[in-house]
Amino acid sequence: MSKLLLSTAAVLMLAAPAFAEDMKCNVPDQTTWMSQEDLTTMYVEQGYEVKNIKIDKGCYEIYGINDKGERVEIYVDPVTGEPVKSGS
């Protein structure tokens, strides 16, 4: 499962500039959101070094370093922590 998530994240990172402006996560109730601490733990366990997390257009946006030492920017669903492509 984590290999699939890492592969998905890698693909999304390459496409991030193309869809970042259209990015929207439709979860207005922040009480249902995963905590930033849990999100950090989730990505650290997958081999990322999380530098910063912010909220952008209703998504969490993770800035960090992947297991290859490359800088990454990942937009994730705030409830599940899964990478997202764009809002519909």
Dump the DSSP string for 47-73. Answer: T-EEEEEEEETTEEEEEEE-TTS-EEE
Other CB atoms closer than 10 Å to residue 26's CB: what's the count? Answer: 9
Q: Which pLDDT tens digit goes with each residue over 22-57?
A: 556 877 788 999 999 999 999 999 999 999 999 988
Grade residue 18 by pLDDT with cuts at 50, 70 and 90: very low
Would you say the pTM of this structure is higher than 0.75?
no
pLDDT in the model for residue 10: 55
What's the distance, Cα to Cα, between the start and end of the chain in Å? 25
